[in-house]
Amino acid sequence: MRFTAETSSNGVVERNFTLGEVTGLLWSPASGSHHAPLVLMAHGGGQHKRAPGILGRAHHFVIRCGFNVAAIDAPGHGDRPRTAADERHIAALRQAQAAGEPIGPAVVDIHIDLAARAVPEWQATLDALQKLPEIGAGGPIGFWGIMQGTGIGVPLTAVEPRIIAAVFGCLGHEGLAEAAARITVPIEFLLQWDDEHVERQSGLALFDAFASKEKTLHANAGGHAAVPRFEVDSAARFFARHLGQGGTSPA
């Protein structure tokens, strides 16, 4: 893991890193983050590691909870080149949109391909992050990702025992139900009640599929992109309950 840039604002240190082909960001409290809990954040489709929805939540998690937060660009997203497969997926998505057809099937195919590449990348990133002295091995780790972030995060959490709590949502069960049924950690699941892209029953079916004893569905009135702002704070409280609060100085 190589750090390539560092900036600081509002008490949050932001560091760019690369790990092989992976480009990422690590946010930490300027006041110190010795062995603080770590939250991994996966962005939505067509977005990137510093999209407003990621950046705003990362800052909130760092400032409110004292966490370290890491985000990486998904394959073919952000600072990463697109493969021929990525281009084919985008073309299939645009074709469905242009024809006025449901984009669901194309999205499921994209997520299956992306997850196959992104899950090992996330695991390698986690290995490298845990070698940093400010994070360390054995600390509590959470995952946050909705939409495409759920398409990658559910398969990741199903195979990654270091993740002990996760926020998912805004996606249906197609292609994910089997992985969800292997997940037993606490889940907070966001669903938009009037989602124009995700069938309500399919979103409810994904929530239902998690084997977790503690799972909470937050369904809000509104369309796909209208997740209310108060859910940012709700996610922070969820992670604080399960990961603990970050310290601000070495023990």
Note the residues at the interface with a copy of itself (CB under 8 A).
191, 193, 204, 207-208, 212-221, 228, 230, 233-234, 237, 241
Instruction: Quote the least distance from Cβ 215 to a copy of itself, whole Å.
Output: 5
Instruction: Quote the least distance from Cβ 28 to a copy of itself, whole Å.
Output: 27
CA distance linking residue 36 with residue 115, whole number of Å = 27
Nearer to a copy of itself, 178 or 233 (CB): 233
Nearer to a copy of itself, 87 or 194 (CB): 194
CA distance linking residue 239 with residue 230, whole number of Å = 15
Nearer to a copy of itself, 112 or 219 (CB): 219
Nearer to a copy of itself, 51 or 177 (CB): 177
Give the position of tokens 């995700």.
198
Instruction: Quote the least distance from Cβ 115 to a copy of itself, whole Å.
Output: 25
Q: Which residues contact 4 (CB under 8 A, 6 or more apart)?
A: 16, 17, 18
CB-count burial class (<10 Å; 0-12, 13-18, 19+) for 187: buried
Instruction: Quote the least distance from Cβ 15 to a copy of itself, whole Å.
Output: 32
- Asked if 29 and 12 count as a contact pair (C-beta separation under 8 A), the reply is yes
